Copies of this chain bind each other. A is one copy, B any other.
């Protein structure tokens, strides 16, 4: 028996696009003499569809896709994820289901049982869990159908769940296991996934085909990395990351398990490729072509510009250099050098005249009050307005260049340098941005060395340095990581050896700046805990603040 894995880049709500893509893959699978082709979780409508699921019309369109795929299931069986309607009034209105389509019929539907409701996931908001489990027989083989999280409770060891679907299916006699996933990327996830699959295979001694999504849906990136596992616990094949792939496997070969292939998993390379995918799909799926960003001469905007050029092509990235009287000469030179290295269009607008015009209008009100953060923010907002003017006039989408360290402690100006349609680096700590820059420069100097080595500065007042108001980034980032990724409280972090006053100050900064993060662009998620839908914090709170 031959089984095709279709690792595709779906688009939420784009039923026609998703369907055409799947029908094309069915043709490819047929050409490869496949018996079965398997798509991902909720492939008809894309993942996560969020509250679109509340619209009957949206569900109807998903079911129309299933109907079309059913008609195509001729000479080949199609396994595909889609919402389905709960036929009884009890429980939520929908199931998150795997359809088995063959001989132009719906042969079997297995609903998802384990509904993740943590991190970025809200599945219990929409779906009723499965209570019935069976296997489907096709061409003499017995197949267990599982949807994503269903395989994440091996032997009931995950305390979140009380059911282990495969424990209920495998005793019915199973030849192989299919899993339809939509399992979002973070830089640790590919390794976790392989370990999880190994554990499953070791428990059940069955070959396993794990089909993931690829591509980004706003902030959520899917890396693909679909897996074929031999019953001996080896990775028979790991599909590529961040690209679509339709590949067919011979079940007998997989069972023999004589080869083993997996992708390299370098953290910084994964972050790099993940972000490039995130930018590319944000633009592609919203039908935008061109990006704009402000280039300061600093490392964050430099890395953002490179990633944008790699995602969209140099011809589609435009940058604006906006020096003020506080900018150093090298800032403009470094920014210009980068733009030239990348071959991207750049313009220079000195902001002093606009800044002065603002100050002139405010003078009758401000009188002789001293320079403070107000004037710094006017500079940042003047730049934001200039960038948005080009964005509006030429249709370039503004990319935000803020890193995770700044975003965490509120080191940025709302409507100024925090503006933009997509936040490219806001899940990458400053120390990791340096690693990304080194990775980008590994073969040749793309980012001017000076942008990497000079002390970071916002250049909003004379001789300003980040270190004037923040601790060294290597200390800051470790404290932030404990608080954000590891969900450690103040006492726990202090016990790791950090200064109690510093810990209190940093945690307070994170908490009191929730209002800023609320108003910033979606953040491409590359870590296990990004700002955004996976981290939901009150604004009006008084905890550690």
Contacts and interface: CB of A to CB of B under 8 A. Distances in A.
Contacts of A419: 414-415
A465 interface: no
A277 to B, nearest CB: 13
Given A14-B542, A415-B419, A540-B281, A389 B91 contact: no
A357 B357 CA distance: 7
26 contacts: A11-B542, A13-B544, A52-B537, A55-B543, A57-B489, A57-B491, A58-B489, A90-B159, A118-B125, A124-B124, A218-B540, A285-B540, A286-B539, A353-B357, A353-B360, A354-B361, A357-B357, A361-B386, A362-B386, A369-B393, A374-B392, A377-B389, A381-B381, A384-B415, A519-B519, A533-B536
Contacts of A520: 519
B55 A542 contact: no
A510 B57 CA distance: 16
Interface in A515-544: 515, 518-522, 533, 535-544
Nearest to A487: B54
Contacts of A17: 542
Contacts of A373: 392
Contacts of A285: 540, 542
A162 interface: yes
A8 to B, nearest CB: 15
Nearest to A356: B357
B54 A538 contact: no
7 interchain residue pairs of minimum CB distance: A57-B489, A13-B543, A14-B542, A357-B357, A415-B415, A374-B392, A13-B541
A75 interface: no
Interface in A341-377: 347, 349-351, 353-354, 356-358, 360-362, 364-366, 369, 372-374, 377
A89 interface: yes
Given A421-B515, A489-B58, A349 B374 contact: no
Contacts of A12: 538, 540-543
A539 B522 contact: yes
A12 to B, nearest CB: 4
B159 A91 contact: yes
Contacts of A91: 159-160, 162
Interface string A305-338: 0000000000000000000000000000000000
- The number of times this chain is found in the oligomer is 2
Nearest to A516: B421
A362 B354 CA distance: 11
Max chain B Cβ within 10 angstroms of own Cβ: one of A14, A393, A538, A544: A538
A536 B122 contact: yes
A51 interface: yes
Contacts of A535: 51
A117 B522 CA distance: 23
A489 B13 contact: no
Contacts of A353: 357, 360-361
Contacts of A541: 11-14, 46, 49, 52
A385 B386 contact: no
Nearest to A287: B542
Contact of A385 (B382, B538, B539): B382
A541 B48 CA distance: 10
Interface in A402-433: 414-415, 419, 421
